[in-house]
């Protein structure tokens, strides 16, 4: 008889997560299934896995994970590049109100602000590097492919250009075609991982992402 381990979201810091999740309910209200609580759970799973190999403060990692998208900004919004800064500012206010030490508040704010690909901010602390890696792991592999097509649907994009699906005679345009996003962003992520553990996990997911696009191309 096969037994399945009980799934405990955000273990072993589930209590802290529940305290902080009340400040990210906007993400559920706007209906974005690519940045919902399940995304936060997966990012925490990634962060905890990386922390096991790299170290780091678990509370800072958990708070940064739960609050990293606490201000919801759509992918096509002109404010997209400012989303992580807005989330960092809100995270700092939340943790200050919860009487966290200033040093930890600043550490979380930095990790939140630096996680974003669009912001282009280099993570300095170990925790910020782990959170950036953990979030980017969820953007590649099979989950990355699923989230890419989900967001494309929300934005009203086509799956691909029927006349030139592989952009051989045109520039990539991921605002119009979902699979173009693989080339403009997703395939670039694995080269920028900050930790050895994160890079190892990313290499596996990168191969899955490449295989997905190859098989997608074969079918079309």
The pLDDT tens digits of the residues spanning 130-150 come to 999 999 999 999 999 999 999
pLDDT-based confidence at 27, cuts 50/70/90? very low
Which among 43, 37, 21, 35 is positioned nearest to 154, based on CA atoms?
35
HSE of 76, CA atoms in CB hemisphere, 13 A: 12
Mean pLDDT taken over the chain: 90
pLDDT-based confidence at 29, cuts 50/70/90? very low
**How many whole angstroms from its chain centre is CA 82?**
15
Domains and CATH numbers, the chain: 1-131 (1.10.3210.50), 139-220 (1.10.3210.50)
Please, are residues 202 and 137 in contact by the beta-carbon 8 Å criterion? yes
The span from the CA of 91 to the CA of 96, in Å, is: 8
The span from the CA of 182 to the CA of 184, in Å, is: 6
Q: Which residue has the higher pLDDT, 78 or 72?
A: 72
The span from the CA of 220 to the CA of 217, in Å, is: 5
Q: Residue 77: what pLDDT?
A: 64
Residue in the structure block whose two tokens are 């096509």: 76
Q: Residue 25: what pLDDT?
A: 62
pLDDT in tens, 174-218: 999 999 999 999 999 999 999 999 999 999 999 999 999 999 999
3 state SS for 21-47: HCCCCHHHHCCCCCCCHHHHHHHHHHH
Q: Residue 84: what pLDDT?
A: 87
Q: Residue 32: what pLDDT?
A: 75
Interval 60-83 mean pLDDT: 82
Q: Is the peptide bond before 149 cis (omega within 30 degrees of 0)?
A: no
């Amino acid at each position: 008889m096969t037994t399945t381990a009980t799934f405990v979201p955000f273990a072993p810091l589930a209590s802290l997560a529940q305290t902080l999740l009340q400040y990210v309910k906007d993400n559920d209200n706007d209906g974005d299934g690519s940045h919902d609580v399940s995304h936060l759970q997966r990012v925490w799973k990634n962060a905890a896995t990386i922390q096991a190999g790299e170290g780091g403060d678990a509370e800072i990692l958990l708070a940064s994970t739960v609050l990293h998208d606490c201000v919801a900004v759509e992918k096509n919004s002109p404010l997209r590049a400012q989303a992580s800064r807005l989330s960092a500012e809100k995270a700092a206010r939340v943790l200050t109100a919860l009487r966290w030490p200033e040093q930890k508040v600043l550490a979380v704010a930095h990790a939140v602000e630096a996680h974003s690909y669009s912001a282009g901010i280099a993570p300095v602390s170990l925790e910020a590097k782990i959170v950036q890696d953990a979030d980017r792991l969820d953007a590649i592999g099979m989950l990355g492919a699923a989230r890419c097509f989900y967001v494309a649907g929300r934005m009203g994009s086509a799956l691909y250009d029927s006349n030139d699906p592989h952009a051989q005679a045109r520039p990539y345009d991921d605002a119009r075609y979902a699979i173009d996003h693989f080339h403009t962003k997703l395939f670039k992520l694995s080269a920028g991982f900050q930790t050895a553990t994160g890079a190892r996990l990313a290499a596996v997911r990168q191969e899955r992402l490449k295989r997905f696009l190859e098989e997608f191309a074969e079918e079309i």
